[in-house]
Chains A and B, each alone.
Chain A
Amino acid sequence: MQVSLGIILGAVGLIAVYFWSLYNSLVRESTQIDEAWGQIDVQLKRRADLIPNLVESVKGYAKHEKSVFTEVTHARTALMKAGTPATSAQANDMLTGALKSLFAVAEAYPQLKANENFVHLQKELSDTEDKVAYARQYYNTQLMEYNVKVKTFPNTLFVRSFGFAEKEFFKTDATDRKSVKVDLH
């Protein structure tokens, strides 16, 4: 009688430990992911902030290239409006494409390329893109571990009642990654 009671108590204890550690690790990872997303957001904002200066500096030399400027400004607005990881990823890629056109245009103006302000902005922008890339890498890595935890059995039976769900990756569909058409006329 004592032995079977002991076994039952032991089993209950183990199950309790399982729930306890599952819940806590979900909380911890979820919070880490939210913070990682915040980091991406910071870098995206920084990127958006650098754009107006860049556009002004290029406009000083190439005022007539209106289509490129509107493309960049549109992409920037889209990025600032995007809220979720998926839409932000898409807006970010759109902005990268628009910036490619802008820099391609700048190639034709040697005085612009020599302009100190422009060079500085270009370096900063390139660095911000790197930062977005690394923040995204970290975010996606953490997210993968979290999603695996949420979706595997037996965790998947309980996570919903704990209030946790799968989260979005910061990535775009393969179809959006066609090579960008550069319009130079």
Chain B
Amino acid sequence: MAVFVVVVVLAAYVFGQSLGYGNSWMWMAVLFSVVSSFAGYWWGDKVVLAMSGARPADRKRDFDFFTVAENMAIAAGLPKPKLFVIEDTAMNAFATGRDPAHAVVCATTGILTRLERRELEGVIAHELSHVKNFDTRLMAIVAVLVGSIAYLADLFMRSLWWGGGRKRSDNDRSNLGGILMIVGIVLAIVTPILATLIQLAISRRREYLADASSANLTRYPEGLARALAKISEDREVLEAATNATAHLYIANPFKGKQFHAWFSSLFDTHPPVAERIRLLRVM
């Protein structure tokens, strides 16, 4: 994370200096990114729920989901999260919310009917672990950094295109200006891609962490392993999911529609299911 921040600041500095605009661009880009990410972080749970068409869970109707969520919250020492259900036969679940006191856990009717209680426990424990490990906050911060880089690179390229402001003094006609320019262009192309790759790698690591935390809560990793196996066999695509919300779900909701190349696994928000199951089973 610290490296990431340093990279962003460095890139911003290089861009700013080579254009002769100084540091103001860097701060503007970061500010822009912070504001948009903050909005997402603070109200993200309401937005996602509205987008997914979820209804609040009912103790009588969704007894298993309700009680499993209560039990897992007790085991984790967290306050009970708000529970929602999506009416969809595809099997998936997600958790969101800026901190444990404002947590929301959502599951599809598909997953609630198809999983046994112990498997559901594993899934809910995984989702609650995301909340407990403050993953929403982490990914929001990462999104800020990635966004900042993207903005900076974009601004830089646009400035070049439009011939930018030449506030450089006469002394600065050395080769340094030219070198910085070239470095700037290379960075402008490369860093947004790198940033996204880093973001996805972080997302995958947090998924593994949530799997491990889930096993710690339930003391029964086989439950989650079986649930993941069942979910991965389900060919159905979750209609309510979009690219923006895909990383929140327990399993990639766009399975089957993936573009497969040797490097495409770098672009996955979730680690491969077979690997997750294998790790759970050796715990």
Residues of A bordering B, CB below 8 Å: 32, 36, 39, 43, 123, 127, 130-131, 134-135, 137-138, 142
Decide if A137 touches B77 in the complex (CB within 8 Å). no
Decide if A32 touches B71 in the complex (CB within 8 Å). no
What DSSP secondary structure best describes chain A's contact surface?
helix
Q: A123-B63, A137-B219 are in contact. Are A130 and B77 (CB under 8 A)?
A: no
Within the complex, which residue of A43, A123, A138 is in contact with B76, where a contact is CB–CB below 8 Å?
A138
Q: A32-B77, A142-B77 are in contact. Are A134 and B72 (CB under 8 A)?
A: yes
Query: For chains A and B in complex, what number of residue pairs have CB atoms within 8 angstroms?
Result: 25
What DSSP secondary structure best describes chain B's contact surface?
helix
Q: How far is the CB of B212 from chain A (nearest CB, A)?
A: 15
- Which 6 A-B pairs rank lowest in CB-CB distance, beginning with the nearest? A134-B75, A134-B74, A127-B67, A134-B71, A135-B74, A138-B77
Q: How far is the CB of B55 from chain A (nearest CB, A)?
A: 22
Render B216-253 as a binary contact track against A, CB cut-off 8 A, 1 for contact.
Answer: 00010000000000000000000000000000000000
Q: How far is the CB of A146 from chain B (nearest CB, A)?
A: 13
Q: Is B268 an interface residue (CB 8 A)?
A: no
Residues of A within 8 A of B67 (CB): 127, 130
Bound complex: CA A131 to CA B77 (Å): 12
Within the complex, which residue of A32, A123, A127, A138 is in contact with B75, where a contact is CB–CB below 8 Å?
A138
Render B55-80 as a binary contact track against A, CB cut-off 8 A, 1 for contact.
Answer: 00000000100010011101111000
Residue of A with least CB distance to B77: A138
Residues of B within 8 A of A131 (CB): 70-71, 74
Residues of B within 8 A of A137 (CB): 75, 219
A and B contact pairs by CB, cutoff 8 A, 25 listed = A32-B77, A36-B77, A39-B74, A43-B74, A123-B63, A127-B67, A127-B71, A130-B67, A130-B71, A131-B70, A131-B71, A131-B74, A134-B71, A134-B72, A134-B74, A134-B75, A135-B74, A135-B75, A137-B75, A137-B219, A138-B74, A138-B75, A138-B76, A138-B77, A142-B77
Bound complex: CA A134 to CA B125 (Å): 12
Bound complex: CA A134 to CA B80 (Å): 13
Q: How far is the CB of B131 from chain A (nearest CB, A)?
A: 15
Bound complex: CA A130 to CA B70 (Å): 10
Q: How far is the CB of B220 from chain A (nearest CB, A)?
A: 12
